[in-house]
Structure 1
Amino acid sequence: MAAHDLSMQLMRERDLLEVLLFKLDEQQMLLATGRNRWIHHAANEIERVLAAMPTVALSRDTLVISVADEWGVPEATTLRDLIDAAPTDAWREVLSGHLDAMTALADEIGDMKKVNEQRLRTAIRVTQETIAGLGVPTGEYDPQGDVVRGADARLLDTRV
């Protein structure tokens, strides 16, 4: 029965990774469209999801140990080791499916994190240049931070 509980825990962990990916995607869309007003909310939501992950991982690890004990595998095992030691093809398939899905999600999360970090750095640079150039024409930027027009275009109108 511990294997069933482990499978359910792995599904919860997958769901949490999906939520993290969604929140990163949401943050990326805000950055791409220049909706910087909401970035801190997106960052807070990402932090909330990340804060839940250690508890979920601890629960998973506890269940891995229980399943390992039930299946006669040494306690200090990984999910991969547990898959190799599964007593039936069905359990190998179920646990492999979870592992493959979580690995794919982790890779996608890593890629999206890199893009978001780049866009955040660009947004900070554009903001700093705009503030530094108050009173001096700084141009207009696209969402990637490239100068679109260098004339009198402004991100901040100081004449009001």
Structure 2
Amino acid sequence: MGASELSALLWQERELLDLLEYRLEVQRALLTVGESRWAQRAADDIEATTQQLRNLNIARDVEVQAVADDWKFNVVNPSLRELIAAAPPDGPWLEIFNGHLRAMLASVERISARRAENGRMLREAIRHTQETLAGSGDRAGTYTAAGTPDTGKRTAILFEDDA
């Protein structure tokens, strides 16, 4: 094991980050067009990719330690950034690992922004659903403009099923 194996793992991690970004984009698209029936599948896909990343991170941490040991960098559990700082200046690894780190940081930034946006959209969809359901039956628990309990029945509401 060595720097080449670590670079291969970092490529795998970058590919998984791209896949996660794609799956978040799919989730956003589904939320945008209101295809709530696929929301759970999209969430499951995102979770599966996240779990793959967690598993790969364990292998990467082991490989980072192995490379640190090869380079006589006496730090236990160094980060990739720390390993880069300890890279031999006369070899290609400083530039290669820096490239991996920059690409992964950019991916993580885009993923974080997309997750936040999707979370906002999911909360909004839940709120809309709750408001629709709250207004779909008896009006018990609501009040009129005069402040008296409104016990009147609502007229029928039509729910459309797009399926």
Shorter-chain TM range is 0.7 to 0.9
46-55 or 36-45: which moved more?
46-55
Query: What residue ranges of structure 2 are gaps of 5+ in the alignment?
Result: 139-154
Cα distance in structure 1, aligned partners of 2:137 and 2:69: 70
| TM-score (norm: length of structure 1) | 0.82
Partner of 1:86: 87
Instruction: Mark the structure with the bigger radius of gyration.
Output: 2
- Counterpart of 1:128 in structure 2: which amino acid? Q
Give, in whole Å, the separation in 1 of the partners of 2:136 and 2:82: 60
- 1:89 Cα offset (Å): 4.7
Matched residue SS, 1:107: helix
Amino acid at match of 1:80: R
2:36 alignment partner in structure 1: 36
- Alpha-carbon distance change, 37 to 155 in structure 1, aligned in 2, over 3 angstroms: farther
TM-score by length of 2: 0.81
Whether 1:66 and 2:69 are equivalent positions in the alignment is no
User: In the alignment, what sits opposite 2:10?
Assistant: 10
Tell me how far apart the structure 1 counterparts of residues 134 and 37 of structure 2 sit (CA, whole Å). Answer: 20
Counterpart in the other structure of 1:27: 27
Identity %: 41
| Cα displacement (A) at 1:75 | 3.4
- Give the alignment of 1:97-136 within 5 angstroms: 97-134=99-136
Q: Is the 8 A contact 1:130 1:155 kept in 2?
A: no
What SS class does the counterpart of residue 92 from structure 2 fall into? helix
1:37: how far off?
A: 1.2
Question: Please, which runs of 5 or more residues in structure 1 have no aligned partner?
Answer: 137-151
Whole-Å Cα distance in 2 between the matches of residues 103 and 63 of structure 1? 19
| Aligned counterparts of 1:65 and 1:155: Cα–Cα separation in 2 | 61
Distance apart, 1:58 and its partner CA: 0.7
| The 10-residue stretch of structure 1 (67-76 or 99-108) with the greater mean CA deviation from structure 2 | 67-76
Cα deviations by residue, 1:6-40 (Å, 9 ceiling, x for unpaired): 00000101111111111111000100111111111
**CA deviation map 1:30-59 (0-9, x unaligned):** 001111111111001011111112210010
Number of aligned pairs?
141
Tell me how large the CA RMSD over aligned residues is.
1.8
